[in-house]
Amino acid sequence: TTLLLPSSLARMAGSENGSNSARSKADCANCKANHYGVASNMPPSVPIRRVDLIDIESLGSGPTAFCRCYKSKTFPLCDGAHNAHNAETGDNAGPVVIKPMPDADVNREFLSETTQEEKLRLPPGSKRANNYGVVSTMPPDAPSRRVDMIDSALAVSRADAEGELRLCRCYKSAIFPLCDGSHQVHNRDTGDNTGPIVLKRGVGVDVANITKAANEPTPRSTPKSTSRSTPRSTLKPTSEPKKPAVLRTISMAEVATHNTPTDLWTVIHGKVYDLSDFVQSHPGGAAVLRMYAGKVADEGFDGVHTEEVIMQNLPAEKLVGLISAGEMQSGTAAAVTAPDIDLCLNLYDFEAVAKRVMKDSSFAYYATGATDEFTKQGNQAIFRRIKLVPTVMVDVSNVSLETTMLGARMSFPVYISGAAKGGLAHADGEVALARAAHTAGVVQMAPHMATRPLREIAAVRTIAQTQFLQLYVEKDRAATARTVREAEELGFKALFITVDSAGIGKRETDLRLTPGGSAPRSVASKRRWADDLSWADLPWLRSLTNLKLVLKGVQSGADAVRAYRAGVDGIVVSNHGGRNLDTARPALEALVEVMDALKREGYVPSQPDGTPGSARATSGTSNRLGCLRKCLGRPVGRASFEVFVDGGVYRGSDVYKALALGARAVGVGRAVLWGLAGYGQQGAERVLEMLYNELHTTMMFMGKRSLAEVDETSLSGVRDAMLANAWSATRENLTSISSSEQPDTHR
């Protein structure tokens, strides 16, 4: 028996693409949400789920409680039905409440009713919420339920900044109580039909009308109790492909027999997939899939994808069965334990821990450079060739490291650079890095090739936090335009366009451990990324967005001047961490040339607090560049142009030297990934904390009270370092055909 909503209520919740159409009773005969009987309101052409679109302007000044037990007679509002539901089922559900919380800590957007002390009093094995594992936030002497409190002002601000605020009702979200899209995987796995509450301004239903609609006469019937073992076919709409009532259990021995390119099965998270028809079209290349033919692919999959990618690319019938829990457990290797984090005294220690705990091929993907790795080695070595010249007898009792980056305030001039595949280090990947950036008070540049979806990375951003997006331009320019629109909608503030990757470097350590390399050279991949990106694309990129544009990968003074004249908002002096073109100059050496060229052009950087410098207009610009400036709407002689650098930074003194040579801020990519690999979010936070403390100490010893006082006069040997060999003349610590070990940590 299906519980059907009144037509007025069924219409009130639009789909995620803006549709307000509801399924007919016939369509909804077997479409139940959260196994509790609330019908789907999605049209037949979209995945089955229940989504409620609410006008956030209608919330009013009092509290608004939204139901998450799916039993309320005023659904999607809460009427207290969770109390009876919990008593009957042993569940632990409760509402999400949006109300004014003027005394709320603005650094915490989503607050529970309980204090940390009360949470600690929860007895071991306390009841779960909604039977999906989210623990109660109520103290033991209160009714057991999960309640989440959200300050209404913060909710409105978040919805305005990102276009909408999504609240999870499947209890599976990694960013609960916010939605991260986990309901799609949950629905597929269980036959469920849940979806989020979506709060938007000026769109959706006025909450004042919900109770009125709920009081209209309506045919209601008591839903039968639906256990999670109910055959999936009874929970799916008749319009979808029919599937077996229960997925059969398959042995690993049977999976192992399907191990050829034309008959290829693999196991991901205990689920058996038939990938035979997908091998040649896999964007990562056929070699990667063949590597896991007839085997468990969790190690290769988790660092690069979430399960959502399976839903997007594979028909449902390609899920052919399940591996028994016992067999999966017996094949699980024991995890390598990281030492106590307090034993890590520097970034080299974090790298050593990462090498110890990571899968060899995953570590190689992060650590490898192109061919002989001279440029990767040189990025780090050049910092050691430049010497510091301290100033003594200066009052440094109050040293400030604060600065701005494209207008975003930062606690110190280091940002998390966009390094791909954060999931190879930790399951939370870029989401954990976003949280670490907030803790450290710095900007996160999210990578285009992130493991976690961009919406998840954006969802954990706090009100005061700023995120940028690193962007690869695709041959399909329409695909790039879609990514840019998504970045705008999700609240990213700038695009860092990678311009040094017309191809992929030959990374031999990576190639030895991963067939085809972790940065694949598959036909599908070559079709995707643009090798035809040129200066002529800049007006088109500017036409797509009002976000700030920064070119990442500039390595010469001439290109820096061209970017400056073209009207972009900044550049990153970078050689892609030495991963593309070996024997290219170290980034710090290129920075010296870049700043010299820009100064000749009349460029004067703004102050660390954002106060503009002075700059003269430049004459003699070519007609072509003049056209670019006109198209981009940016004048020449701008002090708003900013220069950043990344590559080889392991010490706070390295950051100081880069700033003294003209960089506005310094990007770190590998370093935070080492911390993430060993200790998750805490490790990334500790890496940033170390850099902050080391830079602060360097500033004190150098006699500098603020970043405005840091310049090249406090360095010695800069020009000599530019002329010296940037690297040793021999190949050091590289793998060979006789060795599959990783390169040792350079110290």
- Candidates 472, 564, 603, 679; catalytic one: 472
Per-residue confidence (pLDDT) for residue 303, from 0 to 100: 58
Per-residue confidence (pLDDT) for residue 286, from 0 to 100: 73
- Specify whether 532 is catalytic: no
400-418 confidence digits (pLDDT tens): 999 999 999 999 999 999 9
Strand 642-646, strand 570-573: pairing: parallel
Question: Is residue 120 pLDDT above 70, yes or no?
Answer: no
146-198 confidence digits (pLDDT tens): 788 888 888 887 787 777 888 888 877 877 788 877 777 776 666 667 888 98
Strand 715-716, strand 665-668: pairing: unpaired
Least confident window among 79-88, 272-281, 510-519:
510-519
Q: What are phi and psi of 572, to 5 degrees?
A: -115, 120
CA distances from 87 to 91, 172, 391 (A): 7, 22, 71
Question: Is residue 636 pLDDT above 50, yes or no?
Answer: no
- Which of 177, 201, 235 is where one domain is finished? 235
Q: Which residues contact 162 (CB under 8 A, 6 or more apart)?
A: 458, 489, 490, 491
Q: Which residues contact 729 (CB under 8 A, 6 or more apart)?
A: none
147, 282: one domain: no
**Spatial separation of the C-alpha atoms in residues 382 and 316, rounded to whole Å:** 53
Per-residue confidence (pLDDT) for residue 284, from 0 to 100: 66
263, 138: one domain: no
Question: Is residue 142 pLDDT above 50, yes or no?
Answer: no
In a domain, 65, yes or no: yes
In a domain, 739, yes or no: no
499, 632: one domain: yes
Q: How many domains does the chain have?
A: 3
Where residue 313 sits, what CATH number does that domain have?
3.10.120.10
In a domain, 245, yes or no: no
206, 128: one domain: yes
Least confident window among 136-145, 641-650, 713-722:
136-145
Q: In what order do the strands lie in the sheet with 259-260?
A: 259-260, 263-268, 271-274, 319-322
H helices of 531-667, in order, are 538-544, 557-566, 587-600, 623-632, 652-660
Q: Which residues contact 124 (CB under 8 A, 6 or more apart)?
A: none
**Spatial separation of the C-alpha atoms in residues 666 and 136, rounded to whole Å:** 42
Least confident window among 262-266, 536-540, 557-561:
262-266
Which stretch, 8-22, 306-320, 643-657, has highest mean pLDDT?
Answer: 643-657
599-618 confidence digits (pLDDT tens): 999 999 888 877 766 443 33
- Candidates 282, 415, 576, 646; catalytic one: 576
625, 708: one domain: yes
293-336 confidence digits (pLDDT tens): 888 887 777 656 666 677 667 787 888 888 876 666 555 555 67
- Which of 208, 235, 262 is where one domain is finished? 235
209-221 confidence digits (pLDDT tens): 665 554 444 333 3
Domain range enclosing 440: 379-508+525-723
Amino acid identity, residue 398? N
In a domain, 353, yes or no: no
In a domain, 406, yes or no: yes
Residue listed under structure tokens 């090739």: 449
Q: Which residues contact 718 (CB under 8 A, 6 or more apart)?
A: 386, 592, 661, 712
- Candidates 91, 500, 559, 569; catalytic one: 500
Q: Answer with the residue of higher pLDDT: 282 or 581.
A: 581
Q: Which residues pair with 264 in a beta bridge?
A: 259
Among residues 418, 746, 388, 375, the alpha carbon closest in space to that of 590 is found at 375
580, 617: one domain: yes
214, 284: one domain: no
Per-residue confidence (pLDDT) for residue 572, from 0 to 100: 98
Cis peptide before 515 (omega within 30 of 0): no
CB contact at 8 A, 291 and 302:
no
Q: Which two tokens stand for residue 4?
A: 């059907």
92, 57: one domain: yes
257, 383: one domain: no
In a domain, 495, yes or no: yes
CB contact at 8 A, 17 and 151:
no
Query: pLDDT category, 688, cuts 50, 70, 90?
Result: very high
Among residues 473, 474, 462, 525, the alpha carbon closest in space to that of 497 is found at 473
Q: Answer with the residue of higher pLDDT: 636 or 717.
A: 717
- Percent of the chain scoring above 90 in pLDDT: 38
- Neighbour-count burial of 112, counting CB atoms closer than 10 A to its CB (0-12 exposed, 13-18 middle, 19+ buried): middle
Q: Which residues pair with 149 in a beta bridge?
A: 97, 111
Cis peptide before 605 (omega within 30 of 0): no
- Which of 289, 307, 330 is where one domain is finished? 330
Average pLDDT for 574-598:
95
In a domain, 215, yes or no: yes
Average pLDDT for 580-588:
94
Average pLDDT for 639-643:
86
- Specify whether 559 is catalytic: no
457, 578: one domain: yes
352-410 confidence digits (pLDDT tens): 999 999 988 889 888 989 989 999 999 999 999 999 999 999 999 999 999 999 999 99
pTM: 0.63
Where residue 546 sits, what CATH number does that domain have?
3.20.20.70
65, 174: one domain: yes
**Spatial separation of the C-alpha atoms in residues 724 and 381, rounded to whole Å:** 11
260, 229: one domain: no
Q: Which residues contact 433 (CB under 8 A, 6 or more apart)?
A: 416, 422, 444, 672, 676, 681, 684
Among residues 667, 677, 747, 743, the alpha carbon closest in space to that of 369 is found at 743
In a domain, 728, yes or no: no
Least confident window among 494-503, 521-530, 711-720:
521-530
Indicate the SS3 state at residue 354. Answer: helix
Q: Answer with the residue of higher pLDDT: 515 or 528.
A: 528
Average pLDDT for 233-252:
51
Question: Is residue 666 pLDDT above 80, yes or no?
Answer: yes
Q: Which residues contact 115 (CB under 8 A, 6 or more apart)?
A: none
**Spatial separation of the C-alpha atoms in residues 16 and 184, rounded to whole Å:** 12
- Specify whether 472 is catalytic: yes
Q: DSSP label at 652?
A: H
